[in-house]
Structure formats: structure tokens, C-alpha cells
Amino acid sequence: MDLKLFGEVFVTLLVIVDPPGMVPVFLALTGTLPTRERTRAGTQAVLLALGVIVVFAVAGQTLLDYLHVQLPALQGAGGLLLVLVALQLLTGKTDEPSEQGGTTNVALVPIGTPLLAGPGAIVATMLFVQRADGATDYTVIGLAILGVMATVWLVLRFSGGLVKLLRPAGIEVLTRIAGLLLAAIAVQLIADAVAAFVELYAAAG
């Protein structure tokens, strides 16, 4: 087993996904839920993110080529999606996820994707797979991805203790802060996508 490759993939994806940075957003979206529903939302988000990353690792480039979509477009789309969620958090007009369907929606979008399985994680995984040499490297990359997702799940699973500490007023403040952070992430994603397109077409021209 190539421990160097494992460490490289694990650390890279962990930094991109940023589990501690996910906690404010996760609590802002699920802070009013019962503990069981919050845990379920975290599990669904992690499973979706794992599925999306694995799909793009296996067939990402083929899928994008078939759809004639370039990576900067995927990045820009993720940014636009985060803008919508950020506006909801900043204005307080979030959909109340009191029913199971609402919980699932919150878990899938935006937590599962594009926050956990966002353009950064997808592109990094695709690059690692392209560099891989043989079944052993593929296995190491897969184990590293599983390790990152397990770490994320543990962080989200035990973030519920903050809910009791913050209480409703604290959750309200945290929601606004999370909205601001999401807006900044969204603007950065869109700016990076625009810059990538400009560089791409400048090189082509």
C-alpha cells in the first residue's frame, strides 16, 4: 500500500472539504431538527457526497466530454447554487425542514453537493485518478476518499453538542454568519470559473 499516495489524497480532500468549516453551515440548516433527524441528514449528505465523488472519479471526464461541459462551467454552476442558499440564510427565508422530505432536501443540497462534493473535491479526485498507475493506486485512492468521508461524518455527527450550547438565539446568529461565508465561497467559485474560462479561451485564441 502506497502510504504517501494515501496521505496525499486524504490531506488534499480533507483540506478542500474542510469539515470544521462545514459545521456552521450544517448547524444553520439543521439546528432546529431533532437529534435523530440531524444525524440522518448528516449521514445522507455524506453518502451523497461519496457517491458523487466516486462517480466522477470513475467516469467524470467521459461524462463531461459527452455533455460538452468544461470543468469551469461545473464550478460556476456550483457557485450559483450556493448563492441561492446563501441568500436564504441571510434573509432568514429558509424552508423549514420539519418533514422528512425537507430533511432530505437539506442533506442533498447544499450539504451533500456542492459543499461536500463540490468542484474542488471532484476535480482533485479526477486528477488523482488520472495519475494512478494500476489497481493498487485505485484502491489507495478509494480508501483515502472513504477516510475523508468518515471524518466528515464524525464531525457532523458530534456537532449537535453545539446546538445545546448555542440555543435558538445562537443558532440564529450562526445562520447569518453561515450565509455570509457561503456567499463568499460562492463568489470565489464564480470568479475562479470566469478566470478559468478567460484563460482557456485566451490560450485557444
In the Cβ-directed half-sphere of 181, how many Cα atoms lie within 13 Å? 16
pLDDT tens digit sequence for 167-192: 777 778 877 887 888 888 889 889 99
Q: Kindly indicate the confidence band of residue 136, based on its pLDDT and cuts at 50, 70 and 90.
A: very high
pLDDT tens digit sequence for 138-172: 999 999 999 999 999 999 998 878 777 777 777 78
Give the global pTM: 0.77
Give pLDDT, residue 103. Answer: 59
C-alpha cell at 60: 467524470
Q: Where are the alpha helices (DSSP H) in the chain?
A: 3-17, 19-30, 35-67, 71-91, 100-106, 119-131, 135-157, 160-204
Average pLDDT over residues 91-109: 63
Give pLDDT, residue 99. Answer: 47
User: What is the DSSP annotation of 165-177?
Assistant: HHHHHHHHHHHHH
Percent of the chain with pLDDT over 70: 93
Nearest by Cα to 63 from 14, 126, 108: 126
Range of weakest confidence among 74-88, 98-112, 113-127? 98-112
| pLDDT at residue 98 greater than cutoff 70 | no
C-alpha cell at 44: 445522507
Give pLDDT, residue 93. Answer: 64
Quote the CA–CA distance of 1 and 182 in Å, as a whole number: 38
Average pLDDT over residues 66-70: 88
Give pLDDT, residue 106. Answer: 78
Q: Kindly indicate the confidence band of residue 102, based on its pLDDT and cuts at 50, 70 and 90.
A: low
Average pLDDT over residues 85-105: 64
